[in-house]
């Protein structure tokens, strides 16, 4: 049975991803900052809870040690936790990058040993089409009109991390997926259903050993950077 960890999985897209993974027969670890909400979500999903705050090194290290000790490996990591705060002041920007970018680094680094123990290790980084230079510089695109300076920059950084990790660890498949504008707390309930976006993400979660790595994907396939 494949072992999966989804960060930020107590609600929104993360919860929908975890549900689809449980339905597919995975042993799923719901990573969440809030213990009560995380345990409640895991119970409802038929998953397992692990307390995990992507902005806290000790929390991340403890969470991955727990998963590794229990399971011996990790087959799928979905770096989903994120924030859409868009303030351009220094402290706000640092907070966005700490969650969206450094959080990905923290969790990925802590997961490497467990991933390397898998026969088919896969990492999916949840990004945004607002992190695509091609999209935001195309006057005909929807993304061209959206002003989200810090958030877009953070997701562009996630895209670069995806490429660099894919190069550094060729035995692990790393891909970034832009789920599209989705109805979550981050969008104040506007956008498409979370289940639809979760399916787009899981398309890359289920790739085999000969699947792509170091790419940016959306519903339609590979996107330009």
Give the pLDDT band of residue 197 (cuts 50, 70, 90): confident
User: Is residue 151 annotated as part of the catalytic site, yes or no?
Assistant: yes
Length of the chain: 225
* Cα–Cα dist 173/187, whole Å: 29
Give pLDDT tens digits for 67-82.
999 999 999 999 999 9
Give the pLDDT band of residue 185 (cuts 50, 70, 90): low
Q: Which ranges of 46-102 does DSSP label H, i.e. alpha helix? A: 57-71, 90-97
Task: Name the residue ranges covered by the structural domains of the chain.
Answer: 3-222
Q: Is the pLDDT of residue 193 over 80?
A: no
Give pLDDT tens digits for 37-62.
999 999 999 999 999 999 999 999 99
What kind and span of H or E run contains 37?
Answer: helix 35-45
* Cα–Cα dist 18/80, whole Å: 11
Dihedral sign computed on CA atoms, order 39, 115, 101, 163: negative
pLDDT at site 200: 85
- The answer to whether domain 3-222 has CATH 3.40.140.10 is no
Give pLDDT tens digits for 151-181.
999 999 999 999 999 999 999 999 999 986 6
Angle at 153 between CA 133 and CA 55, to 5 degrees: 140
pTM of the model: 0.93
Catalytic choice (15, 29, 151, 165): 151
DSSP label of 3: E
């Amino acid at each position: 049975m494949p072992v999966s960890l989804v960060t930020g999985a107590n609600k929104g897209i993360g919860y929908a991803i975890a549900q689809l993974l449980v339905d597919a027969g995975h042993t799923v670890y719901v990573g969440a900052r809030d213990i009560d909400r995380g345990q409640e979500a895991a119970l409802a999903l038929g998953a397992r809870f692990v307390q995990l705050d992507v902005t806290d090194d000790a929390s991340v290290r403890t969470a991955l040690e727990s998963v590794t000790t229990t399971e011996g490996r990790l087959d799928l990591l979905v770096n989903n936790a994120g924030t859409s705060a868009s303030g351009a002041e220094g402290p706000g920007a640092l907070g966005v990058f700490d969650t969206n970018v450094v959080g990905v680094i923290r969790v990925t680094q802590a997961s490497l040993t467990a991933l390397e123990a898998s026969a088919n290790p896969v990492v999916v980084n949840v990004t945004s089409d607002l992190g695509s230079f091609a999209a935001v510089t195309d006057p005909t695109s929807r993304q061209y009109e959206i002003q989200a300076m810090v958030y877009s920059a953070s997701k562009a950084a996630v895209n670069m991390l995806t490429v660099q990790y894919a190069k550094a660890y060729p035995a692990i498949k790393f891909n970034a997926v832009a789920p599209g504008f989705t109805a979550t707390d981050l969008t104040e309930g506007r956008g498409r259903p979370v289940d639809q976006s979760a399916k787009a993400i899981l398309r890359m979660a289920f790739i085999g050993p000969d699947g792509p790595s170091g790419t940016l994907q959306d519903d339609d396939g590979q996107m330009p950077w």
